[in-house]
Amino acid sequence: MDKLVSFIVPTYNAQSCIARCLNSLISQEIACEIIVINDCSVDNTDYICRKYVEKYNNIIYIKLDENMGVSFARNTGLSHATGEFVIFVDSDDYIDSIKPIYNILNQKFDLVIFGRKYIREQEVLECPLPYAGLITKDELIKNHLKTFLNVNSSIWVTNKLYKNKIIQDQNIKFDVGVNFSEDLYFNLKYFKHIETIYYSNNYISYYDRNIPNSLSRIYEKYNISKVIENRNKVYRFLQSFSDINYSVYFEDYKNILIYSINKVLTNQFSKLEEKLEELKYVKKTPKEILEFLNENNFIEFLLKQYISQNNN
């Protein structure tokens, strides 16, 4: 019997891209259902989706009565998913054939991570996969923590194939109301209940950065307070394992924090008082990252002085 895959597609005001997304899913040569959740769009998204529903009997279409956010939409999709496996596809994404990974699903993998590309202007760029092949969760975290912390592994949900039984049995959901790192929180919950992970060297998912109002970019704000909050969640998750090389974690923490500080400082849409308010959260940074700050870098030098003063 064919293995049914449930594609879950949250969409909001996606009239410019939803057809491309759905075309990439209905062309899959596998047993699948496509669950589209319209998060109360006010453009022609509803009209376009209904045209596809009329034509294809494997599309389940749900239109929400009010705008609830991407996490609620994805949870709604999960509540309707009947497939053995689940893949999340944002409406500004599209995918190539998943046949290469579909053909290996008889093997005992709890999670498959596949390659992702993104389109920026006229370029198609690969997001490098940090690993290839089969690995256990314990080995990944204990011996390849940098790989686990990579965005391909722990952050995105749109480059993964999940087992629906694990999601349903463990009641794993997205945190409604969270609009920063909701993917990370979902993945941490899922990681708690799995043993084996397979990194596929197939690049299947495409993310289009040229669409200005996409679901992936609506909340694209680099918020220092949220960065610190999500790093703390990762730290608590890692504490359930023994023999962790936390220096890898704190170096990664430092890199993300510096990146976020730069984003806050250069954000042309934020007022000065908003930037200053956000920068106050830096004092909550753990002192363990001090040894990873380079004093020859001006921002890192200032950050080291600030963290040192607020940790004494």
> What is the token pair recorded at 6?
């449930």
Overall average pLDDT of the 3-26 stretch = 95
User: 179, 197, 218 — which closes off a domain?
Assistant: 218
Higher pLDDT, 270 or 65: 65
Query: 156-174 burial, b if ≥16 CB within 10 A, otherwise e?
Result: bbbbbbbbbebbeeeebbb
Mean pLDDT of 199-220: 70
| DSSP reduced 3-state for 102 | helix
Q: Which long-range contacts (CB under 8 A, 24 or more apart) does 279-283 make?
A: 279/224, 281/224, 281/225, 281/228, 282/224, 282/257, 282/306, 282/307, 283/307, 283/310
* pLDDT band, very low/low/confident/very high, at 2 (cuts 50, 70, 90): low
Pairing of strands 123-127, 85-88: unpaired
Q: pTM for this one?
A: 0.90
Is residue 142's pLDDT more than 90?
yes
Together in a domain, 138 and 91 = yes
Q: Checking DSSP bridges between strand 123-127 and strand 32-38, what pairing results, if any? A: unpaired
**Pair (117, 103) in one structural domain:** yes
Question: Per-residue pLDDT averaged across 214-233, rounded?
Answer: 69
Structure confidence by residue, pLDDT tens digits, 232-288? 999 999 999 988 999 999 999 999 888 888 888 888 777 888 888 888 888 888 889
- Same-domain check for residues 157 and 211: yes
Tell me: the pLDDT tens digits for 24-37?
999 999 999 999 99
Q: Give the H/E segment covering residue 160.
A: strand 160-163
Are 199 and 235 part of one and the same domain?
no
pLDDT band at 123 (very low <50, low <70, confident <90, very high): confident
Same domain, 146 and 38: yes
Instruction: Give yes or no for a contact between 211 and 12, defined as CB atoms under 8 angstroms apart.
Output: no
Range of the domain at 233: 224-310
* Best CA proximity match to 41, nearest among 18, 7, 75, 8: 18
Which residues lie across from 113 on neighbouring strands? Answer: 160, 199
Number of domains comprising the chain: 2
Is residue 218 over pLDDT 50?
Answer: no
